[in-house]
Amino acid sequence: MRHQLKGRHLGRTSSHRVAMFRNLARALFTHERIVTTVPKAKELRPYAEKLITLAKKAALADDGSPAGKTKALHYRRLAVKHLGPVHGTGVYDKKNELVTGNDTVLKKLFNDLGPRYKDRPGGYCRILKRHQRRLGDAGETAFIELLKAGEKRVKAKQPATPGPAPAPAVAKT
């Protein structure tokens, strides 16, 4: 029985999984949309959303007071713990050129993504399944992307509400 054993192993050791999620999260924060397999995307979403929540809490806590700055620093250090040594790497654009405004993934997370989702209660990522299979093992692939500022999550169509009941037929005599 698998009581209280959440998450997928993904055929990796625990240290390999942690390194993989750090790399996937860094790529997601850098490019804001990546292609990966469906199980990896489903496991990455809570990992990335927890990091974005730390950035959001830091944006809400930093009100200019010393106590607020201390809380914001605490959240930043927690994110560094989860991102590991890759937090200091540069942020690259679509043409693979280094972006000069935001030097690191951590700065982009706390300066751009945290304030972007300041008013959002959660659900910062979206997973879209792709039709193409991965070459080699034909694994199902998906896009995982960050929502834009002010974008709403698309929900499935709700079933139509039933109309009024038909009137009973009147018997003719």
Give domain 16-146's CATH architecture.
Alpha-Beta Complex (3.90)
Look at 52 and 98; give whichever has higher pLDDT: 52
The answer to whether 144 touches 41, Cβ cutoff 8 Å, is yes
- Show me where the domains of the chain are located: 16-146
Mean pLDDT, the chain, as a whole number?
89
Handedness of CA 65, 76, 36, 40 (dihedral sign): negative
Helix (H) or strand (E) holding 127: strand 125-133
Burial of 103 (0-12, 13-18, 19+ CB in 10 A): middle
Residues 6+ positions from 167 with CB-CB distance below 8 Å: none
pLDDT digits (tens, 9 = 90+) for 151-164: 876 666 777 777 77
Residues composing the chain = 173
Distance between CA atoms of 51 and 76, rounded to whole angstroms?
9
102: pLDDT strictly greater than 60: no
pLDDT digits (tens, 9 = 90+) for 3-41: 888 888 999 999 999 999 999 999 999 899 999 999 999
What is the C-alpha radius of gyration for the chain, rounded to an integer number of angstroms? 22
pLDDT at 86: 67
